[in-house]
Amino acid sequence: MSEPAKITLEVQRYHPEQDSGPRWQRYTVPYTAEMSVLEGLQYIKDHLDGSLTFRWSCRMAICGSCGCMIDGEPELACHVFLRDYAPGPVRVAALDHFPIQRDLVIDHSDFLEKLETVHSYLIPAEERTPADGTHRQTPQAMADYYDYAQCINCLLCYAACPQYGWHPDFAGPAALALLQRYNLDDRDGGHRLRERVIDAEQGVWGCTLVGYCSEVCPKGVDPARAINQNKAGSAARYLLGWWRPGRRRGEDRE
């Protein structure tokens, strides 16, 4: 049997408690055609260096936990193959724009806080109790928001967004796409609540339509579209505020 092909991985290492800054470490990994980059990292952990730290769970682009920068692009490590980077060296680093907890593991608390501000849950348009039974909707009504509901919170879009990098206050692509997912749900009545986020500096107006978020999204969510669908409505509300100044001042207060 011939020797298996080998690929060099340069992995970003960083232990904030010990290291003054991130550094690169090289590993040579034997690979086969069907091995993902995640499997390469797992090979390193199992056979070469047990201290390498990274997140993963599903291994099939479902859980959203294995996001990292691969040769500078935000990717799910389980969604790209080593063969496409052979013979390397391919650089694997923690997702851009997030603090590093250790090696490839980022701290995503900022995103979780933002997710809470966008009311990304169904706020029923009419009072309902469990006795009313299933809250049904037609397949056509579901199609309106279905794409936005595919988000797996992998945060590749945040790593892709230059505006999030410069202005960490910006609610960011996934949170605003999830906001739109509920706004487009015909069973939902929470629009007014979400308008505050949409109309804010940190809301849709923080987006400059770079569009890279939609390009890197592994689930075809198209957050750039979700955000920009809201600009016309937000602008209309702004003009309406000129018309009825009391209303706008009220919204400014918070």
Partner 1 sequence: MKRSHEPPLWLLFGAGGLLAALLGPALILLTGVVVPVAAERGVEVLGYEATRELLARPLVGVLLALSLGVVLWHAAHRIYHTLRDLGMRAGQGVWWACYGSAAIGTLVAIGAVIALW
Which residues sit at the interface with ligand FES, rule CB under 6 A? 56-59, 61-66, 76, 78
Q: Do 171 and 117 meet the contact criterion of CB atoms below 8 Å apart?
A: yes
Given candidates 66, 69, 94, 152, which one binds ligand SF4 under the rule CB under 6 A? 152
Pick what 48 binds: partner 1, ligand FES, ligand SF4, none; C-beta below 5 to 8 Å, kind-dependent.
none
Given candidates 37, 68, 70, 156, which one binds ligand SF4 under the rule CB under 6 A? 156
CA dihedral 76, 65, 112, 14 (to 10 degrees): -90
In total, the chain counts a number of residues equal to: 254
| 102/194 with CB nearer partner 1 | 194
| 53/228 with CB nearer partner 1 | 228
Q: Do 202 and 131 meet the contact criterion of CB atoms below 8 Å apart?
A: no
How far apart (Å, rounded) are the C-alpha atoms in residues 176 and 158?
11
The stretch among 63-71, 133-141, 183-191, 194-202 that binds partner 1 (CB under 8 A) is: 194-202
238 binding partner 1? (CB under 8 A): yes
Instruction: Give the angle 83-69-222 at the CA atoms, nearest 5°.
Output: 100
Pick what 25 binds: ligand FES, ligand SF4, partner 1, none; C-beta below 5 to 8 Å, kind-dependent.
none
Main-chain phi, psi angles of 6, to 5 degrees? -120, 150
- Report 110-129 residues binding partner 1 (CB under 8 A): 117
162 binding partner 1? (CB under 8 A): yes
The structure tokens 């969510």 sit at 221
Structure tokens at 140: 């056509």
Main-chain phi, psi angles of 27, to 5 degrees? -135, 145
Pick what 112 binds: ligand SF4, ligand FES, partner 1, none; C-beta below 5 to 8 Å, kind-dependent.
none
Structure tokens at 123: 């706020």
Which residues contribute to the site for partner 1 (CB under 8 A)?
117, 162-163, 166, 196-197, 199-203, 205-206, 208-210, 231, 234-235, 238-239, 248, 251-252, 254
